[in-house]
Structure formats: structure tokens, C-alpha cells
Amino acid sequence: MIFWPVVFWVHFSTILQIVCGRKWNDTGRGTIIFEEAWTIPALIDQITSNVPPVGQTNADLKINMLDIHNQRLAGMDANGVDYMVISCASPCIQGISDQATAEAMARNVNDQLAATIANNTFRFGGFASLAMHNATTAAQELKRTVVELGFLGAMINDYQQSGPDDETLLFYDQPEYDVFWEMVTSLDVPVYLHPRANIAQIQNLLYGHAPWLRGPTQEFAVTLSTHVMGLCTNGVFDRFPKLNIIVGHLGERLPSDLWRIDDQLARQVPEGMPMRRNLSSYWRTNLFETVSGNFATLLFDLHKKQIGLDRILYSVDYPWVAMSQGEAWLKELAETMSSRDLWALKRGLAVEVLRLNH
């Protein structure tokens, strides 16, 4: 239950942000991270088969997932993190098939997150959780969280499962979702597309022979990269040229394969593909990637050449990944990157994309 004094404070603090501008921990030096998971007790059982960081147990992972102001904040202080944007751990609302239940839970999660960080918006911001069964409803909830709760955008965990047997999968590259993307662009906020575990029927078919490939090793990148390419090839960015989508884990491998993708998709133009440009070009105008949970320096260097450093942002993927691991990687980069480029990766671009100073 959220008590009325807390609700009042959430709305009052949001009004102050609108009138006075957002006040956040802008040291000019520390990092800004925003693929950082949290959940509520009602959804903690969604976290089942994931492997915690080395040296931690599943119990440790769940404790860290529920926490904001204790070990999470201490970890930020110890590792030079100025500001963290928090979002609901995957699959969150995308793992709820019933539309009414999902919509009510999305509102509940958003209200709980806003109430939990209300006493320290100097260090924490939020991404909205959304039920994506109905584009109009999702658009209105996004608007509520941005305008009333002061959230910075949305985190959507890949496709929305739906239907009585969880077998209807909803992808957001179809025209019926244009009303949602229109709202996103009118609010001028980013949407972070994050992976999710597939429904059981797909997991069993594709990974039953090698269950170790489920999750971040293989499954996440394969499924989400297909969804992202669907947005491109079905013309979403052509219809909404100002739309900003963020993809984590070094772009779920897509920027590593752009030549072949463009070469093969050129053959689909005579078949009626709606996309008006090369897919690779959207990485220069609409798509960003973060390095979350993928601190591979050689791959990072390749992506700088492929899409440009001005499309790459830092994040950690806490608590799946330790903040100290990301900080250690940044210190390694400092030996070879210019201070200006490192500053842009760590925080400079994030300030712009998240509109922290607006």
C-alpha cells in the first residue's frame, strides 16, 4: 500500500522539478547508468533461473534486486556513480499475459518506484514499466509517469506475451503501435528495449537441447535483435524520425554485423519491405547502444568505428553485473581514450539522451 503522504510528496517533488528544473547529482565527473534492475516483492519470483555474479548466491541477487537505498547506493558511492535510472527487472510486465492484470501491475510498479525514490531523486530516476497489450493504454501510462512522476522514459522487456496460453506474442513494429510511438516522440523521451526470457514453448524448442544457452549467453541477443530489426524493416523510424531507442549489451550484437544485414536486406526491397533506408543508417539517427554487461574493449572499438562513439553510452546491468566490474573497465579505457571521449561515454551523452538538464 502507498500512503497518501507519500503520494503527495511524489507529486510535489515532481512539480518542483518542472518549475525549478531537475536537481540531480551532477558532479561533472561520475558516471550515469540506466540499465539497472529493481523489482517489487510481488514480482520477485519472476527471477528464477538466472545466474548471479561470481561470489554471490541467488538469495544475494534477490536481496540486491529489492534494495535501493542501502547496498545499491553504497555501491554507487564506492564506484563513482553519480546517478542511476532504475527499471523493473525483466520480464516484469511483459511476462504477464492477462491485459487487465498487466495494466494494473504496471501502474502499481510505477507508483511504487516513484514512492521509493521520492526521498532521493538527487541520485535516482526511473524508467516506466508498461503493459503493451494496447498501444493507447501504454501511451497514456507513459505520459502519466513522465508528466506526473518525473520518469525519464520507459524500459520495455522485448515482446509482450498475451493470450490464455501465453502463446500470442505482441511486437511493437506493427502500425497499431504507432499511437504509442507518437506519444514517445511527443514527450521526447527514450525507450530502452531490454531482453527477456522466451515463453516456455519457444525455450523448449530452441534451447531444450542446450539449456546453457538460455538467457544472456545467446537467447537474449537473438530474440531482441530480431525485434529491433523489425522496428527498422517495418518502417517505424521512417514514420517517427525523432524516435530514440536504446539497446543494451553493445546493441545485442547488431552493430557487429551491419554489412551483411544491409547486403541481405537490399534484396528484400523488391518484395515490398517498408524500410526506406539501409538498416545501418538508423544507428546514426534513432538507435543507441549501451555497454551494459558487455565490457569487451575490442568489440567496443569496432562499434566506435561502425556507429560512432556518439551512439554509445555507459551502463552496468546491476545487480546482474557488479558496479565494480564496470568501474574497473572504465579505468582500463582511461589508459587509451582521450579524457573528452571517456567523459562522453561515462556521462556526457547520457545527459543529452535522458534530458537530465531539461
Q: Which CATH number goes with the domain that contains 304?
A: 3.20.20.140
Whether 12 maps to a domain, the answer reads no
Task: Sort 201 into a burial class: Cβ within 10 Å, 0-12 / 13-18 / 19+.
Answer: exposed
User: What average pLDDT does this structure show over 3-23?
Assistant: 57
Of residues 82, 111, 158, 317, which has the active-site annotation?
317
The backbone region for 337, taken as left when phi is positive above 0, alpha when psi lies in -120 to 50, beta otherwise, is beta
Sign of the torsion formed by the C-alpha atoms of 51, 217, 86 and 250? positive
Provide, rounded to the nearest whole percent, the portion of the chain with pLDDT above 70. Answer: 94
- Examine the pLDDT at 3 and tell me if it is beyond 70: no
Predicted model pTM: 0.94
SS3 267: helix
Whether 46 maps to a domain, the answer reads yes
Whether 276 maps to a domain, the answer reads yes
> 357 pLDDT band (50/70/90 cuts)?
very high
Please write the tens of the pLDDT for every residue from 202-240.
Answer: 999 999 999 999 999 999 999 999 999 999 999 999 999
Whether 13 maps to a domain, the answer reads no
Count up the domains in the chain and report the number: 1
Residue 242 cell numbers, joined: 525523432
Q: Residue 245 is inside which H or E element, if any? A: strand 245-247
- Examine the pLDDT at 338 and tell me if it is beyond 90: yes
> 14 pLDDT band (50/70/90 cuts)?
low
d(CA 310, CA 137): 33
- Examine the pLDDT at 18 and tell me if it is beyond 80: no
Bond prior to 241 in cis (omega within 30° of 0): no
- Examine the pLDDT at 242 and tell me if it is beyond 70: yes
> What per-residue confidence (pLDDT) applies to 2?
47
Whether 21 maps to a domain, the answer reads no
Please write the tens of the pLDDT for every residue from 248-304.
Answer: 999 999 999 999 999 999 999 999 999 999 999 999 999 999 999 999 999 999 999
Q: Which among 66, 100, 68 is positioned nearest to 85, based on CA atoms?
A: 68
Q: Look-up: residue for cell 520477485?
A: 44
SS3 351: helix
Q: Look-up: residue for cell 510511438?
A: 181
Domain that holds residue 139: 27-353
Whether 88 maps to a domain, the answer reads yes
Q: Which among 229, 226, 237 is positioned nearest to 196, based on CA atoms?
A: 226
Q: Look-up: residue for cell 547506493?
A: 73
Let me know if 317 is a catalytic residue: yes
Whether 170 maps to a domain, the answer reads yes
Whether 14 maps to a domain, the answer reads no
